[in-house]
Structure 1
Amino acid sequence: MKTHHPSASLQPDFATLLKTHPGLEAAPAPGTGGELCFGGQSLKALARTYGTPCWVMDGGVLRTRCQALAGAFKAALSTPLPDGRSAVCCHYAVKAQDSLACLAIAAQEGYGADIVSGGELARALKAGMKAEAVVFSGVGKSDSELADAIKAGIGQINVENEGELERIASLASAMGRVARVALRVNPDVAAQTHDKISTGRAEDKFGIAWEKVPALYKSVQQAEGHSALRMVGLAVHLGSQIMDPQPYRQGYQRLAQLVRQLHAEGLRVDEIDCGGGLGIPYQGEEAMAPQAWAHIVAETLGGLGARLHVEPGRWLTGPAGVLLASVVEIKHGARDFVIINAGMNDLLRPALYDAWHGILPTTLPAPGTPLHEADIVGPICESSDIFARNRPMPPFKRGDTVAILDAGAYGAVMSSTYNTRPLAPQILIDHGQVAPLRKQQSVEALLAAETMPGWLLPGQR
């Protein structure tokens, strides 16, 4: 077994992970480095109560981050618009973490919703978000999804192409409604993030080529009064996990150029949707603060007379969640493996994006305990089911529990039942209380959702 030497690794150590992650702390425990707590609750105790794997969200962390990001934008864009409206609106990106409880917390903090499906619209409304504060983005919106959005009277639909615009007009006309629409611009800007979550390049499937926008915008807005559409503005979304300010600046400058061109033609631009994508430092790397993002938005788009919209998700929810898992086996050989009972069916990001997540034992090792490099892997029958390679860890035994950090974004929402593994429970810690958000799915419930043709039933042949 290979002993780890801290100077040879760029990975943050346990102390650094504790220091840099809100809500985490080590409670004193004799003979150890402390018992890991999240939101004031012992994670080891939660694992005993709710089982593992288990998703844990800290409502206090989520609430604090909602306040911090909204505060940064309100400070940067403090002057109301001439009509008295706030200069900026924050919309929670539902796709990052869609539990009703988390949506309710965001709604209490004044957030609207950024949705990408009819299902997310239903979630947002059920959680108490106002329809007029909902923005509908994403490619491939179905007719039924668009009809539901129009019927609900949402704030705006970010249109991806001409065909979608025609369908919205037809649906709204048949319903006797007027749909508020914005054109999603593809600015052909690389977000300098993972290829699979970059959405603002010309070759990406998202948005309308920026050079085609003015003519389309003009044709729709000039037809207002004779159609079922109201053209309210422009939208852009460059990608996810953005750490560098330059893509934001470049994309927003191109958007501002379009707005000025539309103004020069006598056209109205009421709303500008700036998208989201603000990244978090999973591995302790340098990351943008909300204040820096807000400053760029204000500097590039703040003087154009439009209400601005931002759609954070990962930055709000990522550090607010952990995934608890238990050690099933330890395997020594060409590599040392710690096999846990959470898999890529639970947390897909490491397998899909080669993403790095901090991992902490729920009982931290005593000072001076030798650490050894091991691979932390799941039980799924895929070689990509790996959470960490060569990660310095203390000795483990069967039944020990670990916490995978920064799992609050794109974690539970991307879970599946691959290998017929039921969905893990979700719980919320908030105001000193613990409550289940989703119960542990049983194999029986999973199978009950299926039917078998009568001729295939046992004894029917």
Structure 2
Amino acid sequence: MSVFKHQQGSLHCEGVPLEAIAEAHGTPTYVYSRQTIESAFLAYQNALADRPHLVCYAVKANSNLAILNVLAGLGAGFDVVSIGELERVIAAGGAADKVVFSGVGKTKQEMLSALEHGIRCFNVESESELLTLADVASKCGKTAPVSMRVNPDVDAGTHPYISTGLRENKFGVDVETARRLYHVAHDHRALEPVAIDCHIGSQILDIAPFLESLDCLLTLIDELAAEGITLRHIDIGGGLGVSYQENAPAIEEYMSALAAKLGSRDLELVLEPGRSIVALAGVLLTRVLYLKPSDAKNFAVVDAAMNDLLRPSLYDAWQDIQAVTPREAELRTLGYRWSHL
């Protein structure tokens, strides 16, 4: 149930009037519900209470330090894609040994810094990256824990801009390449293969693609075990959608399906949820500056900009817009226009 509700003619968050926040802090400003963030994270935690697991919040979803601090306090791990995100996690009280480092473009300096912090593992995306990481780890006298990101070529049925698990996407490597790279890592003194991971997209509204991806990873895990390479954890990524206008699966339903597929396997389950933890937890407060009518369309010009809320402009994402203090007025259909682009 949403904590954003109209009470006494005004929109509130957790009982606090948003109009008062706008008056105190100005606009545009973001307002987040701690209660919503905690409830979503704990839904993952509680659903997996009976098996080893680590819920790594995807920092890319929202890197606000206060949000990271709340999640760190709940024992969250973190999925980062840059050294800047890792530094924010550390500053917010997160534990480096609960961090997985994803992303296709890790630099040598980022690798070195992550090794010095003692992160949990690198989610490696290519052979070139693996060899670079081996070189960096060798030169600093450390062993890099690695997980190969497998591209399972699974269609998640989501927007093409946020699809990451198809063969034509830039992410990860195919199964046969992954198998070969695990042996490279296993034979290198500065690398330790510890896990396997994948990520097939964002705003996924069907559990079936996740299970198809999991089948792919489990098959490779079994084959590697037969070849003398035993992995400790399996990272199924993130991507579970939320209910905007659609009906998304409940977190508990998704976790139950994953747990059933894993069965009694001695594998820690790692997840990288982002949107499903924070998407319904915040609002952007913005003030209407001008009304601009025209024959073609009527515009409301506001004091926020597309850098404050990129998704609608980036890939035509639906965005709910509500008046903080609704007024009786003639009903007209308005477009919205940022005050600056």
Compute the RMSD of aligned alpha carbons: 1.5
Cα deviation code 1:37-68 (max 9, x no counterpart): 11221111111111111111122221122112
* Aligned counterparts of 1:158 and 1:138: Cα–Cα separation in 2: 8
Q: Is the 8 A contact 2:43 2:252 kept in 1?
A: no
Identify the residue that residue 238 of structure 1 maps to in structure 2. 200
Output one character per residue of 1:305-351: Cα deviation in whole Å (capped at 9) or x when no partner.
21110011111111111000111111222222222111212111100
In structure 1, what is the Cα distance between the partners aligned to 2:205 and 2:331? 31
Report the Cα offset of residue 370 of structure 1.
5.4
Structure 1 residue 132 displacement after superposition: 0.8
Structure 2 segments unaligned to the other structure (5+ residues) = none
Query: What is the CA distance between 1:256 and its match in structure 2?
Result: 1.2
Match of 1:144 among 109, 120, 136: 109
Is 1:53 matched with 2:28? yes
Q: 1:293 pairs with 228, 251, 254, which one?
A: 254
1:9-408 to 2 correspondences below 5 Å = 22-28=2-8, 34-74=9-49, 78-79=50-51, 87-221=52-186, 223=187, 227-283=189-245, 285-334=246-295, 335-365=297-327, 371-380=331-340
SS in 2 for 1:36: strand
Deviation, structure 1 residue 145: 0.3
Counterpart residue type for residue 333 of structure 2: E
Aligned counterparts of 1:204 and 1:58: Cα–Cα separation in 2: 34
What whole-Å deviation, never above 9, does each CA across 1:273-326 have from its counterpart, x for those lacking one?
11001111122x111111122122212334332111001111111111100011
Letter of the aligned partner of 1:245 in structure 2?
Answer: I
> 1:365, CA displacement in angstroms?
4.2
- 2:100–2:120 contact (8 Å) kept in structure 1: yes
> How many pairs are equivalent?
340
Amino acid at match of 1:317: V
1:219 deviation in Å?
Answer: 3.2
- Supply the distance in 1 between the matched residues of 2:338 and 2:96 (Cα, whole angstroms): 41
Structure 1 stretch 101-110 or stretch 55-64: which is displaced more?
A: 55-64
Unaligned runs of 5+ in 1: 1-19, 29-33, 80-86, 382-461
TM-score, normalised with respect to structure 1: 0.71
Q: Which secondary structure state, in structure 1, belongs to the residue aligned with residue 150 of structure 2? A: strand
Distance 1:212 1:301 in 2: 24
TM-score, normalised to structure 2, is 0.96
**Corresponding residue SS for 2:287:** strand
Q: What code does the residue aligned with 2:286 have? A: A
CA–CA distance in 2 between the matches of 1:365 and 1:258?
A: 59
The question of whether the paired residues in 1 share the 8 Å contact of 2:81 and 2:103 is answered with yes
Could you report, residue by residue, the CA deviation over 1:63-116 in whole angstroms, capped at 9, with x for unpaired residues?
122112221222xxx14xxxxxxx111011111110111111001111011000
The Cα shift of 1:167 comes to 1.2
Matched letter for residue 333 of structure 1? S
CA distance in 1, matches of 2:176, 2:253: 28
Asked if the contact 1:248–1:296 (Cα under 8 Å) also holds between the matched residues in 2, the reply is: no
**Matching residue of 1:446:** none
- Check conservation: 1:112, 1:129, Cα contact below 8 A: yes
What is the CA–CA distance in structure 1 between the aligned matches of 2:195 and 2:36, rounded to whole Å? 33
Counterpart CA distance in 2 for 1:370 and 1:257 is 61
Structure label with greater radius of gyration: 1
Q: Letter of the 1:318 partner, please give it.
A: A
Question: C-alpha deviations, 1:400-428, integer Å up to 9, x for none?
Answer: xxxxxxxxxxxxxxxxxxxxxxxxxxxxx
Between the aligned partners of 2:232 and 2:190, the Cα distance in structure 1 is 18
Question: How big is each residue's C-alpha offset from its partner over 1:256-275, in whole Å with a ceiling of 9 and x where there is no partner?
Answer: 11112112223201111110
Letter in 1 for 2:243: P
Q: Is the 8 A contact 1:237 1:276 kept in 2?
A: yes
**Equivalents in 2 of 1:88, 1:110: separation in Å?**
12
Partners of 1:220 and 1:254 in 2: CA distance: 20
| Structure 2: distance between partners of 1:168 and 1:219 | 12
